[in-house]
């Protein structure tokens, strides 16, 4: 059995206290629901860390009074999954329900999901298991066991909310030593499996804002080994806007096939201006397959995940299209 090592936990009551603690304690890490971070600590990652609990910062809650859906970073996935969501955004709740299983959803937070670390068969193992090989890039070493001649870490981004929120054009509020700023969610991700977020030391995600769709809707599809629990081996979120039977805007985002949620502009171009007929769907699926290069570091083979990425985009596009039609006639 893996045990949690003794580890100091700070319990600030304001965001600025939390930021100060993160800046002034080397190795301090934000602790939200802990459903991923505590597992990582048990596996021997982040040696010598201390934790800064975000639970007392009042970052919980949802609001639509300002022309957008605002979700506090401390809102649990359980709350998001059961909240009445604005028209067209129901897939946010569906994605929350697809994370792990209900006991985990009740602790896991929206901010923790967006800031989830990337994963890899060779890294998400105990320290003892990993000691059988030289350290890889993500563990501070100088090689990758998955892509041996590669020069970077290819660990996979598998958070379920990120593709959906990114497809909806969400922004995040970041608070840190330099004050507060807003950024496109897309810019939160670096694409480097070793250090997947662009946040600077001491910065926290405190809120997500999603524009309310106008004649649009989003849908999410996830492929995983066990429907009751597993991370995405591939996933697709598609947001579509529909006017007079024509798709006027499309955003296509993949999860589980690379080190960041991956937007596919070629697939978006294939859908935009179409009536979502067979030719457009086939072109979008082909564009997705061409843009995707998964490697062998999670469940299922890379070839299957790549093929399924196209299938998932097709399914998500069809569901988003039908939902957008409901929004138009509402």
Binding flags for ligand FAD, 39-58, as an x/- string (CB under 6 A): x--------------x----
User: Applying CB under 6 A, does 115 fall inside the site for ligand FAD?
Assistant: yes
Query: d(Cα 134, Cα 40) in Å, to the nearest integer?
Result: 19
Query: In 3D, which of 12, 18, 9 has the Cα closest to residue 202?
Result: 18
Sole window of 75-83, 98-106, 120-128, 235-243 interacting with ligand SF4 (rule: CB under 6 A): 120-128
Q: Residues 69 to 98: which contact ligand FAD by CB under 6 A? A: 73, 77
**Considering the rule CB under 6 A, would residue 159 count as an interface residue with ligand FAD?**
yes
Selected range binding ligand SF4 among 136-144, 167-175, 240-248, 306-314, rule: CB under 6 A: 136-144
Return d(Cα 281, Cα 310) in angstroms, integer: 9
> x/- site string to ligand FAD, residues 186 to 225, per CB under 6 A?
------------------xx--------------------
Instruction: Give the Cβ contact number of residue 33 at 10 Å.
Output: 23
- Cα–Cα distance for residue pair 150/326, rounded to 1 Å: 47
Task: Specify which residues 72 forms β-bridges with.
Answer: 207
Q: Pick from 33, 34, 145, 314: which binds ligand SF4 (CB under 6 A)?
A: 145
Indicate whether 116 belongs to the interface with ligand SF4 (CB under 6 A). no
E-strand stretches of the chain: 9-10, 28-31, 50-53, 62-63, 68-72, 171-176, 179-184, 204-211, 216-223, 234-243, 246-255, 262-263
* Residue from 52, 72, 111, 138 in contact with ligand SF4 (CB under 6 A): 138
What the block records as the tokens of 264 is 């596919």
Site string for ligand FAD, 221-240 (x = CB under 6 A): --------xxx---------
294 binds ligand FAD (CB under 6 A): no
Three-state SS at 146 = coil
190 near ligand SF4 (CB under 6 A): no
Q: Does 12 bind ligand SF4 (CB under 6 A)?
A: no
Among 51, 99, 136, 235, binds ligand SF4 (CB under 6 A): 136
Q: Which residues contact 15 (CB under 8 A, 6 or more apart)?
A: 57, 59, 175, 204, 206
**Minimal distance in Å, beta carbon 148 to ligand FAD?**
27
Q: Indicate the residue among 235 and 264 with the shorter CB distance to ligand FAD.
A: 235
Residue 155 as a binder of ligand SF4 (CB under 6 A): the answer is: yes
Angle between helices 278-291 and 302-329 (to 10 degrees): 140
Spatial neighbors of 50 by CB under 8 A, at least 6 apart, are: 7, 8, 9, 10, 25, 27, 28, 29
CB under 8 Å to 322, separation ≥6 — which residues? Answer: none
Q: Which residues sit at the interface with ligand SF4, rule CB under 6 A?
A: 120, 122-123, 136-138, 144-146, 153-155, 193, 297
Q: Which residues sit at the interface with ligand FAD, rule CB under 6 A?
A: 29-37, 39, 54, 73, 77, 99-100, 104, 107-109, 111-113, 115-117, 158-160, 204-205, 229-231
């Amino acid at each position: 059995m893996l045990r949690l090592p003794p580890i100091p936990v700070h319990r600030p009551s304001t965001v600025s206290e939390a930021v100060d603690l993160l800046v002034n304690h080397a190795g301090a890490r934000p602790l939200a629901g802990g459903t991923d971070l505590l597992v990582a600590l048990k596996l021997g990652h982040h040696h010598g860390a201390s934790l800064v609990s975000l639970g007392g910062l009042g970052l919980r809650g949802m609001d639509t009074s300002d022309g957008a859906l605002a979700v506090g970073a401390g809102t649990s996935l359980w709350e998001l999954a059961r909240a009445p969501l604005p028209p067209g955004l129901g897939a946010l709740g569906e994605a929350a329900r697809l994370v792990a299983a209900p006991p985990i959803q009740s602790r896991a937070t929206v901010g923790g999901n967006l800031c989830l670390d990337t994963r890899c068969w060779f890294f998400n193992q105990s320290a003892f298991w990993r000691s059988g090989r030289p350290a890889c890039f993500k563990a501070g070493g100088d090689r990758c066991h998955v892509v041996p001649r590669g020069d970077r870490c290819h660990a996979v981004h598998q958070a379920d909310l990120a593709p959906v929120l990114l497809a909806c054009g969400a922004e995040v509020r970041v608070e840190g030593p330099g004050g507060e700023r807003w950024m496109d969610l897309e810019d939160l991700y670096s694409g480097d499996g070793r250090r997947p977020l662009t946040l600077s030391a001491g910065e926290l995600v405190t809120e997500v804002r999603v524009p309310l769709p106008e004649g649009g809707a989003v849908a999410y599809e996830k492929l995983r080994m066990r429907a009751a629990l597993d991370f995405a081996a591939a996933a697709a979120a598609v947001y579509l806007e529909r006017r007079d039977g024509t798709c006027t805007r499309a955003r296509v985002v993949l999860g589980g096939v690379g080190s960041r949620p991956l937007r596919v502009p070629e697939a978006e171009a294939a859908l935009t201006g179409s009536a979502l007929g067979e030719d457009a769907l086939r072109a979008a699926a082909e564009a997705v397959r061409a843009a995707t290069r998964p490697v062998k570091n999670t469940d299922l083979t890379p070839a299957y995940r790549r093929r399924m990425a196209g299938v998932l985009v097709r399914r998500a596009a069809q569901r988003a299209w039908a939902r957008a039609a409901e929004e138009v006639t509402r």
